[in-house]
């Protein structure tokens, strides 16, 4: 059975009573520890570390990270605007977006940096800002995401300028007098240091063909262990090996490249928990299954239904010290959608993966762990007209502080005319 990561059972019960469920809790101490780890990423010639805000865009988190020294990677014009409204200075925001921001000109004029993700984007940037500098995202031709839906490099991914089209990119930049001084890749290399060395090598080979490049971003994609069986990326090990590569590059090409990293998952995934309440327990007969139904689901965390993601699950009985015994359970979300499950089979998103859990009763809390990244930000918000849930920051001194109120039905309806 899994255990709670940063909450105590008493804290779960108190938060459940005080704020209602479902709700996300983020742990300030874990966020700070992770930020310090990323800011200590080994590097040969300087480091800029950005937080990929799409993983958890709440303003309280952006401010906390920025105060500690992280800058921001925004994946849309709206995210950039959101970071600005949270008080992040424009100079500390870089936009790397599939969709060109509607107001690219305004955002750049305010001081945001731009990372062109296609030749069309580069051309548009050059037209608006001739004779400046820019960075480009390159698809170096290899990815390592754990499924096709999370793969962000290689021929099956649309992100970035395909490495064989760089001549075209240079031609477009030259026409506008734009210098490509930054190069960016984000191919998500997981936990294996050899894989990171391989990917950094690919990126450096490309940087060698881009003579004006002085900073190289290797993106995010540092794997974390959500389940206890998973292996986490070791930043010191990975960064140490990459530093050697950057030094070798400097010797060979006479350019000391500034390193950028921009993790999302690594910074926040294990700093978040989703607290739900058990609303029912049903079964499908002697040869069937037992289902725990909860007051949350894909409306809070869609990762299990989207790609079979595994998250630790813990039942916290309503009364402290209850001796309940254990059983094997499936956990079903509250949506009228058979795919709304928290327990897909580990190696088969279509299959069922019962979990050994404390025997639940209606009213108990069910805590889903490792819900800091791509849960609140990527949910199927408002499906079945369930309101967006609340978010709480557990301060370092143990006090829970509300950082997002639960949505109301009026707010769901406010744009209907």
Ligand X SMILES: *Cc1c(COP(=O)(O)O)cnc(C)c1O
For ligand X, give the closer residue by CB, 188 or 400. 188
DSSP class of 341? B
- By CB under 6 A, name the one of 77, 143, 263, 360 that touches ligand X: 263
For ligand X, give the closer residue by CB, 153 or 333. 153
Asked if 118 interacts with ligand X (CB under 6 A), we say no
Secondary structure class of 188 (helix, strand, coil): coil
DSSP class of 332? E
Find all residues with CB under 8 Å of 150, minimum gap 6, and list them: 188, 307
DSSP class of 360? P
Q: Which token pair is 91?
A: 């100079």
Residue 336 is among the residues annotated as catalytic for this protein: yes
- By CB under 6 A, name the one of 16, 21, 48, 75 that touches ligand X: 75
For ligand X, give the closer residue by CB, 186 or 334. 186
Contact window for ligand X (CB under 6 A) among 48-56, 229-237, 301-309, 327-335: 48-56
Asked if 262 interacts with ligand X (CB under 6 A), we say yes
For ligand X, give the closer residue by CB, 74 or 316. 74
DSSP-assigned states of every residue in 367-389: EEES-TTTTGGGS-TTGGGPPP-
| CA-based R_g, the chain, Å | 23
* Paired residues of 402 in beta bridges: 392
Asked if 265 interacts with ligand X (CB under 6 A), we say yes
For ligand X, give the closer residue by CB, 65 or 222. 222
- By CB under 6 A, name the one of 66, 163, 186, 293 that touches ligand X: 186
Q: Are strands 400-404 and 215-217 parallel, antiparallel or unpaired?
A: unpaired
Bond preceding residue 22 cis, omega within 30 of 0: yes
* Longest Cα separation, the chain: 73
Give the span between the Cα atoms of 270 and 4, in whole angstroms: 11
Asked if 51 interacts with ligand X (CB under 6 A), we say no
Contact window for ligand X (CB under 6 A) among 234-242, 264-272, 328-336, 395-403: 264-272
Binding mask 355-384 for ligand X (x = CB under 6 A): ------------------x-----------
Q: For residues 159 and 153, is the Cβ–Cβ distance under 8 A? A: yes
Asked if 52 interacts with ligand X (CB under 6 A), we say yes
Contact window for ligand X (CB under 6 A) among 39-47, 49-57, 319-327, 389-397: 49-57
Asked if 264 interacts with ligand X (CB under 6 A), we say yes
Q: For residues 292 and 356, is the Cβ–Cβ distance under 8 A? A: no
Asked if 219 interacts with ligand X (CB under 6 A), we say yes
**Total number of residues shown for the chain:** 417
Which is catalytic among the residues 14, 199, 336, 371? 336
For ligand X, give the closer residue by CB, 216 or 330. 216
- By CB under 6 A, name the one of 16, 21, 76, 96 that touches ligand X: 96
Give the span between the Cα atoms of 314 and 316, in whole angstroms: 6
Find all residues with CB under 8 Å of 304, minimum gap 6, and list them: 298, 310, 311, 341, 342, 343, 344
DSSP class of 299? T
Q: Contacts with ligand X: how many residues (CB under 6 A)?
A: 18
For ligand X, give the closer residue by CB, 266 or 291. 266
Asked if 55 interacts with ligand X (CB under 6 A), we say yes
Shortest separation between residue 94's beta carbon and ligand X, angstroms: 9
Q: For residues 11 and 394, is the Cβ–Cβ distance under 8 A? A: yes
Shortest separation between residue 272's beta carbon and ligand X, angstroms: 13
Chain positions contacting ligand X, by CB under 6 A? 52, 54-55, 73, 75, 96, 186, 188, 219-222, 262-266, 373
Q: Which residues are catalytic?
A: 336
């Amino acid at each position: 059975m899994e255990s709670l990561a940063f909450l105590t059972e008493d804290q779960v019960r108190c938060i459940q009573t005080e704020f209602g469920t479902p709700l996300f809790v983020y742990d300030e101490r874990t966020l700070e520890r992770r930020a310090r780890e990323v800011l200590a990423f080994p590097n040969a010639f300087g480091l800029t570390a950005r937080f990929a805000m799409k993983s958890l865009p709440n303003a309280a988190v952006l401010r906390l990270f920025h105060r500690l020294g992280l800058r921001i990677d925004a994946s849309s014009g709206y995210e950039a605007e959101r970071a600005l409204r949270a008080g992040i200075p424009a100079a500390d925001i870089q936009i790397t977006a599939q969709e060109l921001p509607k107001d690219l000109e305004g955002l750049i004029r305010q001081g945001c940096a731009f990372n062109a993700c296609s030749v069309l984007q580069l051309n548009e940037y050059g037209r608006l800002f001739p004779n400046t500098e820019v960075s480009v995202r390159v698809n170096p031709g290899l990815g390592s995401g754990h499924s096709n839906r999370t793969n962000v490099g290689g021929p099956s991914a649309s992100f970035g300028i395909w490495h064989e089209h760089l001549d075209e990119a240079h031609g477009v930049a030259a026409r506008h007098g734009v210098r490509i001084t930054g190069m960016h890749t984000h191919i998500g290399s997981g936990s294996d240091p050899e894989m990171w060395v391989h990917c950094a090598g690919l990126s450096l080979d490309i940087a060698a063909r881009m003579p004006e490049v002085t900073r190289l971003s290797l993106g995010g994609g540092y794997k974390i262990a959500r389940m206890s069986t998973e292996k986490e990326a070791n930043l010191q090990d990975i960064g140490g090996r990459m530093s050697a590569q950057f030094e070798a590059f400097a010797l060979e090409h006479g350019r000391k490249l500034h390193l950028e990293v921009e993790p999302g998952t690594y910074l926040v995934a294990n700093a978040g928990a989703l607290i739900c309440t058990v609303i029912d327990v049903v079964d499908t007969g002697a040869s069937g299954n037992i289902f725990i139904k909860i007051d949350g689901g894909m409306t809070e965390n869609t990762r299990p239904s989207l790609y079979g993601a595994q998250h630790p699950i813990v039942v916290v009985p309503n009364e402290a010290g209850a001796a309940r015994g254990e059983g094997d359970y499936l956990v079903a979300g509250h949506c009228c959608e058979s795919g709304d499950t928290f327990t897909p089979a580990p190696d088969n998103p279509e299959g069922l993966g019962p979990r050994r859990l404390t025997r639940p009763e209606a009213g108990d809390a069910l805590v889903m762990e490792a819900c800091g990244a791509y849960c609140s930000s990527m949910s199927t918000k408002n499906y079945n007209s369930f309101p967006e849930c609340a978010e709480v920051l557990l301060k370092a001194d143990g006090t829970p502080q509300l950082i997002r109120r639960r949505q109301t039905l009026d707010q769901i309806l406010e744009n209907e005319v």
